Chain A
């Protein structure tokens, strides 16, 4: 039994223009002392997954429609709100991208820290204050005694995030959920904050879920990574394994579309064509299919399950031997993953069935030979470098 177990979580938002399918069956486990990275681009459901775990979804729009969340074996859905409130902060703490959303602007740092500590621990004012000073010192706030009297707006962004970390770790939680903790910070300040976070959580054996869209950040911080796309986990594995042998087209695409500081000079970027899907439409087929260079006809119809890369392998969900799993009908071969595109002779991504599905981004037209070609009324037909023979575009419906 892992510390946190999320099974088949489904979250939807009911809005005036339809149901948003934000999280579509996410499973994840986190073990004590483990750092799990959650990566994926904006809107893929990283924050919503964790808000659901914490039972902090905005009501009434947000609903957990299915699945279970267990923390230390306890089903969190069944807990009364009072116990859930106890658990938040004490056992599971959260830090957000913008510390100002969780710091109260009209209270001093001292008032907030003392209040947090005393809400969960039976200690006197003076003792809580001592603990607050100790925590501020621990996160590297100079002259903590003096800074206790400051208000949050007296601090810079980096300092506020340190204060947040101090408050989050005040009660020695077992799990820390850090949602884009450094996204708003400058890179030199990010380095400070990440170093601090890593040191403190390692020392205490705190489990961490680190949410970020920056693959560089998880590469240095996480033991394991879940790659999310459109509310699904599409690839999961050990950090080393996932970077060395990415097997999902989306992961491969991400790795090739960001410039690396240590890339070889002149190495071109291979963009992922199209745009992320509109989550107001219920998912059909593989969510990545419209943008995928590897897609097969089946990809448009059936959503692949998250399965071990080595078919039939027993699945370990946590720890240093966690199983590398992907949700894909046609995983890139290792040499394709390295090249960032399919290399199979004459391979062309399957056009949408009957041309009825919309192209990934119907407003964009090809600008380079190796981009997706759009035929009026038809689906995208990709001209891959090396694939000179284009099949006939399927008969369109005249759209």
Chain B
């Protein structure tokens, strides 16, 4: 039972009762926290960075395949979490989607318009509807601009409103993110990290975007401040019907905020599922290991947890392993006696359960693994999941 991901070029019908995505509405009805329509469809996105050698005559000697065939779909009003370890291509995916990069290959369709190769005025119009929030609230704000200037800059760029209207809008944006508008004339260094991130959030909201790509928006913040920003992002989503691509390496945070999660490894998505499904029953051996590696702040839980410890490091994306990118570290492959497919055939991201995709040849053998390999839970009985869309 395999099918391709919604959003890929071919969309064969699946055997699964609930159709994958042979039509847009079919996918839509699947949305948990969404109004139904795909706001963004990415198929087979590739982003390679050339590696060159030589000083005078630069020879192209290879590519860093930062993003190597990513397909995903984000529905209006939902939050898609993108997780994975450092260097797996999360930021590059986000930047290619918002067209800060020109993709090497693949297709990006935003609200029905193909923007893969958009340039000039059409690109500018699209950019207004997609904004990014960056990780580092220290370096992502221009130190020579006032807070009000930073927040209002997108309004200036897009020539929105009169000067007075813009000033009023900036004050409103300050209030929206919980900052005192009277401090607009201060410079970034006069704010704390959390406050600077609020400035970044206010700026991203200035032009009323549909999609916000938040790239590790809380990673640089103090632990006690992170929740303030998470709650702010959640409140803004509900208030303005925003759609988020939330990029982070911290699975606990991603799980908290996302409706669906895409797990990335070495430039590819290895698993894509509803948050609850991914957590309850991960289908890719990498996701299993990732879930089991996340420390849980509860000694009772930690004491009875068994971890799946991966061997070695993430390989170099300039020369990813052949076949399944994960095979060099895969515990499942090892337990299955190193079947040859793993090294030779790249497993497609296939729908193993309704709307639960994984890219592994042996998903069906995962169940034979000892119980201890499954990520531990606190033993707290789970309430029925929330069904109400956040927006």
Residues in A with CB closer than 8 Å to B226 are 257-258, 271
Asked if B276 is at the interface of the complex by the 8 Å CB criterion, the answer is yes
What's the least CB distance linking A173 to chain B, in Å? 25
Q: Give which listed residue, B224, B230, B298, contacts A276 with CB less than 8 A.
A: B224
What's the least CB distance linking B334 to chain A, in Å? 15
Q: Are A191 and B309 in contact (CB under 8 A)?
A: yes
Q: Chain B, 248-261, contact with A by CB distance < 8 Å: what is the 0/1 string?
A: 01111101100000
Q: Chain A, 168-201, contact with B by CB distance < 8 Å: what is the 0/1 string?
A: 0000000000000000001111111011000000
Q: Are A186 and B314 in contact (CB under 8 A)?
A: yes
Q: For residues 3 through 53 of chain B, which have their beta carbon under 8 Å from a beta carbon of chain A?
A: none
Asked if B195 is at the interface of the complex by the 8 Å CB criterion, the answer is yes
Asked if A17 is at the interface of the complex by the 8 Å CB criterion, the answer is no
Asked if A77 is at the interface of the complex by the 8 Å CB criterion, the answer is no
Q: For residues 348 through 395 of chain A, which have their beta carbon under 8 Å from a beta carbon of chain B?
A: 361-368, 371
Q: Are A363 and B298 in contact (CB under 8 A)?
A: no
Residues in A with CB closer than 8 Å to B253 are 259
Q: How far is the CA of A29 from the CA of B354 in the complex (A)?
A: 55
What's the least CB distance linking B363 to chain A, in Å? 20
Asked if A255 is at the interface of the complex by the 8 Å CB criterion, the answer is yes
Q: Give which listed residue, B235, B290, B299, contacts A239 with CB less than 8 A.
A: B299
Asked if B289 is at the interface of the complex by the 8 Å CB criterion, the answer is yes
Q: For residues 27 through 86 of chain B, which have their beta carbon under 8 Å from a beta carbon of chain A?
A: 85-86
Residues in A with CB closer than 8 Å to B275 are 265
Q: Are A187 and B307 in contact (CB under 8 A)?
A: no
Q: Are B310 and A259 in contact (CB under 8 A)?
A: no
Q: Are B179 and A264 in contact (CB under 8 A)?
A: no
| Listed stretches A20-28, A115-123, A211-219; interface member | A211-219
Residues in A with CB closer than 8 Å to B224 are 41, 253-254, 257, 271-272, 276, 291
Q: Are A273 and B251 in contact (CB under 8 A)?
A: no
Asked if A329 is at the interface of the complex by the 8 Å CB criterion, the answer is no
Asked if B227 is at the interface of the complex by the 8 Å CB criterion, the answer is yes
Asked if A306 is at the interface of the complex by the 8 Å CB criterion, the answer is no
Residues in B with CB closer than 8 Å to A243 are 297-300
Q: Give which listed residue, A262, A268, A276, contacts B377 with CB less than 8 A.
A: A262
How many residues does chain A have at the interface if contact means C-beta atoms less than 8 Å apart?
57
Interface of A is mostly: loop
Q: Are A220 and B295 in contact (CB under 8 A)?
A: yes
Q: Chain A, 240-260, contact with B by CB distance < 8 Å: what is the 0/1 string?
A: 100110000000011111111
Asked if B371 is at the interface of the complex by the 8 Å CB criterion, the answer is no
Known A-B contacts A215-B297, A364-B178; the reply to A269 vs B227 at CB < 8 A is yes
Asked if A158 is at the interface of the complex by the 8 Å CB criterion, the answer is yes
Q: Give which listed residue, B86, B305, B376, contacts A186 with CB less than 8 A.
A: B86
Q: Are B309 and A195 in contact (CB under 8 A)?
A: yes
Asked if A42 is at the interface of the complex by the 8 Å CB criterion, the answer is yes
Asked if A275 is at the interface of the complex by the 8 Å CB criterion, the answer is yes
Q: Are A188 and B85 in contact (CB under 8 A)?
A: yes
Known A-B contacts A188-B290, A188-B293, A214-B295; the reply to A262 vs B223 at CB < 8 A is no
Residues in A with CB closer than 8 Å to B192 are 275, 361
Asked if B175 is at the interface of the complex by the 8 Å CB criterion, the answer is yes
Q: Are B296 and A259 in contact (CB under 8 A)?
A: no
Q: For residues 138 through 195 of chain B, which have their beta carbon under 8 Å from a beta carbon of chain A?
A: 175-180, 183, 186, 191-192, 194-195
Q: Are B313 and A275 in contact (CB under 8 A)?
A: no
Asked if B335 is at the interface of the complex by the 8 Å CB criterion, the answer is no
Q: Are B290 and A187 in contact (CB under 8 A)?
A: yes
What's the least CB distance linking B254 to chain A, in Å? 9
Residues in A with CB closer than 8 Å to B311 are 192
Q: Are B290 and A259 in contact (CB under 8 A)?
A: no
Residues in B with CB closer than 8 Å to A365 are 175, 178-180
Q: Chain B, 304-318, contact with A by CB distance < 8 Å: what is the 0/1 string?
A: 010101110110000
Known A-B contacts A188-B290, A220-B299, A365-B175; the reply to A259 vs B255 at CB < 8 A is yes
List 7 interface pairs A-B (beta carbons < 8 Å), by A numbering. A41-B223, A187-B251, A216-B302, A262-B298, A264-B380, A271-B225, A271-B230
Top 10 A-B pairs ranked by shortest CB distance?
A: A216-B295, A220-B302, A259-B256, A271-B227, A215-B297, A257-B227, A191-B293, A186-B85, A367-B178, A269-B227
